[in-house]
Chain A
Amino acid sequence: MTPRIKKLRDQSLNAIYRISAERALLITDFYKNQLAFGDSIPVQRAKSFRYILEYKHICINEDELIVGERGPAPKETPTYPEITVHSLQDLDILNSRSKVWFRVDEKTRKAYEEVIIPFWKGRSNRDRIMQQMSDEWHDSYDAGIFTEFMEQRAPGHTVAGNKVFRKGMLDLIADIENALQKIDWLNDPKAFDRSEELKAMKITAESIILFANRHSDQLELLAEKEKDITRKAELIEMIRICRKVPAHAPETFHEALQHYWFIHLGVVTEVNPWDSFNPGRLDQHLYPYFSKETKAGTLTAESATELLESFWVKFNNHPAPPKVGVTALESNTYTDFSLINLGGVKPDGSDAVNELSFLILDVIEEMRILQPSSMVQLSKKNPESFINRAVKIAKTGFGQPSIFNTDAIVQELVGQGKTLEDARNGGASGCVESGAFGTESYILTGYFNLPKILEITLHNGFDPRTGKQIGLKTGEATDFQTYEALLDAFRKQVNHFVDIKIKGSNAIENIFIHHVPTPFLSILIDDCIERGTDYISGGARYNTNYIQGVGMGTMTDSLTAIKKHVFQDRTFIMSELMEALVSDFENNPQLHYQLIYQTPKYGNDDDAADDQIREVFDIYYSAVNGHKSPRGADYRINLLPTTCHVYFGSVMHAGPDGRKAGMPVSEGISPVQGADLQGPTSVIKSAAKIDHLKTGGTLLNQKFSPAFFSDDSAIQKVSSLVRSYFRMDGHHIQFNVIDGNTLRDAQKHPEKYRDLIVRVAGYSDYFNDLGEDLQNEIIHRTEHENF
């Protein structure tokens, strides 16, 4: 690592997380003064975007090579009051909470109190949404049946494709002009809407050029003052680059990175999208520049590394915009979810691994920072050296890179109706979600608490925590004469709640379509320009909405326990079970023992348990698939929790799998914490029993102690383990390589472990920043220490 990178990395790691009112004040100013009065909504949005980029502070950090910050300084995080407005209480919580705090200074608080809140309260998009939701939606939401991603962050779960690198903004403006010319004013009922959307797109493209030029202006001032001759030369080169990109397509490695970075800032300034945008297949996009320049001698591996590492720091400077209200509980984390993809296959299906893939792996290993997160796509066509290198980095224990199955992702996407080429250009983003990069609008709508629905089924549709009848009356638990009758009731309840969830999500989507179009994001994703239609209104070539199922392992073990003990062996009767669950097993420790120790568990390659995961999967899949959203998206499932398995466990009493009241449910498709006793091959066999290809992504977490990866032969064996899982169509696997003692020590002495990053669930976070319950849960996950 060069001294420059070390300095920038330290700056980024040590920067204090703050709330910045800059963006909020600018957009308030814009709307309050009615600067786009009378314009269509897309044009208003575009002009407000331009207003922010025109007036926001330009931040250029000392010695940096890639410039541009979303806020006024690193880790100063803007807010989006037109989408969700923080209350003073929210700000106080953010400022004072012990974990994941954002400092709120007096000036910011005052701006909120006097300007931002008075203007936006009752008028933000979240206010519109909350007024629109039905009572049954609110009851289910309050009960912890599901969460709703879109209630306070905007849709934007997508990833840049190749076009972003091959075209400059001026090229895109030409495409927009062309689309405007082609509007069929004679026959197209949507001609006016398209025209307004395209005008808005053009404004945003011009705005980002303006933003880049403001950086050049600032750099010129710095260059004039600069005494150091080397730095002065760098600044002059940066001035040139920021005048060229993103207006024109990049032609050098440095230009390409800076070009992308301006675009990235545009996307995350326009709205607060989930899983912030990322460059996706970075080794593929950058390879032409890398190859050309290294051959010409204008770029070396060292200079490429320094540029990439500068780029890495920029991501790390940008924490996720903090949330409001109770949602902070669901996901208490700083990190957003930019996931760099490496490897995989080329559009023609051939091996895509190149020398840059390995160079970027070196960068990942050297940087060891949270954002961007990274993954390798592993196809059967990729070489052993590639997967071995990735596993070697994973063993250093900071949770990156995770490993994805390219061949499964391609099949998933083709199965959803994408062309083979668009599927091969895709990958995984966010935590584990499959997507066609550059051509798909895929929106994660929220988590779905499957074990909670079993709890409600066992209470005849009644939620014991909120004291409300929120589900269907499918019969008292003691009335079920057979396991199949119980399963049928569960199915009806799942369908009931999925319907409530989808009705809610569709209403929310309509609100976004009408009030929060995203013309800048739309120019990046095909075919929004050609269709003259916004990303959020169906302009993308492919549209998908996901509902993320949580608690598969807990669900499976709960059903297995009931099936075996109540209906098959009659170890105990249903009323005994129900009494034990309500009393948190206090009244019946023996029954608790039987549930934990004398019941087959998912994760041991035992069909007596694994048969139930197939049933749960089919019930959930059938409930979700087949529904449509207003923009024409298909609803689909994926199976991942982020940190929501902790929140979902907290809203439930004890469970038939032996889980104590309030404890987390299982995460992803991983077994219940501690239930897998036969080692990783058995976990993998169990996990492969569901049909991954019918999902948009599944998450499997395997924890290893560092001792396991002692030598190259052990690393080779882990690689073989991954390859075996992928031969069975497994979607994703990640390794948490850390031992429990280290983590316990980190709990006691957080000061000694400031850099300790662990894989949480589909992403990594600083161990110290996790809540204590989440820390405990990670410690508790099975450690395969004795292999």
Chain B
Amino acid sequence: MTGILFDIKRFAVHDGPGIRTTVFLKGCPLKCLWCHNPESISPQPCTIEKISRIGEQTFRNDEVVGQLKSVNEVMEILEKEWIFMDESGGGVTFSGGEPLLQHEFLAELLIACKQRGMHTAVDTCGFTSSEVLLKIAPLTDLFLYDLKMMNSEKHKFCTGADNQLILENLQKLVSENYKIRIRIPVIPEINDAPENISEIILFLKSLNGQVEGVDLLPFHNTASGKYKRFEINYTMNETRKPEASVMDAIKKQFEEAGFEVKIGG
């Protein structure tokens, strides 16, 4: 069994408990305006020109984004980080793109991780069929579940899909008592208004069960260079990272509603 990865990041410390390795699977059903990994959206490998520098000199070389890897190959890489996972109570996080887009590959990876005793987290946008999600859920120790906004039309405008399926899926996972942390990318002028946060809180309160906590991920503009390199249209060049005061206010809003909140994950 093989899948397409676009990156593996060692010493990932913001994607769940402990020291983790994050495996980025390529391909995503959404197209968020603020996407930090635009190269991850297409499911196919692509070639880009990589520019390297030595002093004033530049060197150009083709680089493939997206590697076909077998489960064993991925496990060999994860194995290198075993001691750090073991020592820190960390593990593996599958992210993307949207990892559930390659759910068969993902399921085999999750099983292999379980066999090795590695804690697993799946970072998902939730835009998938509930059958797939419920197949993956028993193999997963923790979901990092993205919620962007409650307004369905705005959601569609910003991500290319409305949020009905996403909300339903979250409801199902919660009602079956899976462990979930909610992740909210905080995008200035898009979803940082107190009203949006109140709506999210109302929704989370209405669920038939508890989430573990909420991670607030402040928008940053470090991806603008990537958009240029990959020649993808980017509309958020002018957007700046949210003010610390805004982040603190949102954090407070969640805390007052009784949620455990972290800024930065």
Contact = CB atoms under 8 A, between A and B. Distances in A.
Contact of B84 (A592, A658, A724): A724
A787 B52 contact: no
B19 interface: yes
Interface in A447-469: none
A714 interface: yes
Contacts of A111: none
Contact of A728 (B9, B13, B83): B83
B54 A681 contact: no
A720 B54 contact: no
Interface in B43-87: 52, 54, 57, 59, 61, 80-81, 83-84, 87
Of A679, A680, A728, most B-chain CB atoms within 10 Å: A679
Contacts of A4: none
B11 A787 contact: yes
B55 to A, nearest CB: 9
Contact of B19 (A593, A597, A717, A728): A717
25 contacts: A589-B57, A589-B59, A592-B54, A593-B59, A597-B61, A605-B10, A678-B11, A679-B10, A679-B11, A680-B11, A681-B84, A682-B10, A682-B11, A685-B80, A716-B88, A717-B18, A717-B88, A720-B18, A720-B84, A721-B19, A721-B88, A724-B19, A724-B87, A728-B83, A787-B11
A774 interface: no
B52 A720 contact: no
Contacts of A720: 18-19, 84, 87-90
A678 B84 CA distance: 14
B258 interface: no
Nearest to A710: B264
Contacts of A614: none
Contacts, number: 65
A470 B88 CA distance: 51
A727 B19 CA distance: 15
A724 B83 contact: yes
B11 A681 contact: yes
Interface residues of B, number: 23
A596 interface: yes
Quick one: which of A605, A681, A682 has the most chain B CB within 10 A? A681
Contact of B87 (A679, A714, A727): A727
Contacts of B52: 593, 596-597
A57 interface: no
A231 interface: no
Nearest to A595: B54
Interface string A725-745: 001100000000000000000
Interface string B242-265: 000000000000000000001010
Interface string A694-731: 00000000000000001001101100110110011000
**A589, A605, A685, A717, most chain B CB atoms within 10 A:** A717
SS class of chain B's interface: helix, strand, loop or mixed?
mixed
Ranked 8 nearest A-B pairs via Cβ: A720-B88, A679-B11, A724-B87, A593-B59, A681-B11, A724-B84, A720-B87, A724-B83
Contacts of A724: 19, 83-84, 87-88
Contacts of A678: 10-11
Contact of A787 (B13, B61, B81, B88): B13
Contacts of B83: 724, 727-728
B19 A681 contact: yes
Interface of B: 9-14, 18-19, 52, 54, 57, 59, 61, 80-81, 83-84, 87-90, 262, 264
Given A682-B10, A724-B83, A597 B18 contact: no
Interface string A589-610: 1101100110000000100000
B253 to A, nearest CB: 20
B87 A723 contact: yes
Nearest to A592: B54
Contacts of B88: 716-717, 720-721, 724
Nearest to B58: A593
Contacts of B89: 720
Given A723-B87, A724-B87, A727-B87, A596 B80 contact: no
A680 B11 CA distance: 7
Contacts of B18: 717, 720
A653 B61 CA distance: 28
Contacts of A710: 264
A290 B52 CA distance: 59
A710 B14 CA distance: 11
Contacts of A727: 83, 87
B215 to A, nearest CB: 12
Contact of B59 (A597, A658, A685, A723): A597
Interface string A519-538: 00000000000000000000
Contacts of A723: 87
A334 B9 CA distance: 41
B258 to A, nearest CB: 21
A687 to B, nearest CB: 13
A716 B88 CA distance: 8
Contacts of A679: 9-11
B57 A714 contact: no
A83 to B, nearest CB: 45
B112 to A, nearest CB: 20
Contacts of B90: 717, 720
Given A680-B11, A728-B83, A593 B54 contact: yes
B90 to A, nearest CB: 8
A679 B18 CA distance: 15
A701 B245 CA distance: 36
B16 to A, nearest CB: 11
A589 B54 contact: yes
Contacts of B262: 713
Nearest to A597: B52
A197 to B, nearest CB: 50
B49 to A, nearest CB: 14
B221 to A, nearest CB: 14
Contacts of A596: 52, 54
A563 B173 CA distance: 53
A685 B11 CA distance: 12
Q: Which of B14, B19, B90 has the most CB of A within 10 A?
A: B19
A306 B264 CA distance: 40
Given A658-B54, A679-B10, A787-B12, 18 more contacts: A589-B54, A589-B59, A593-B57, A593-B59, A597-B61, A679-B9, A680-B11, A681-B10, A681-B19, A681-B81, A716-B88, A717-B19, A720-B90, A721-B11, A724-B83, A724-B84, A727-B83, A728-B83
A760 B255 CA distance: 43
Contacts of A680: 11
Contacts of A728: 83
Contacts of A721: 11, 19, 84, 88
B22 to A, nearest CB: 11
Contacts of B12: 787
A612 B87 CA distance: 28
B48 to A, nearest CB: 15
A193 to B, nearest CB: 53
B236 to A, nearest CB: 19
A589 B56 CA distance: 11
Nearest to A598: B61
A672 to B, nearest CB: 14
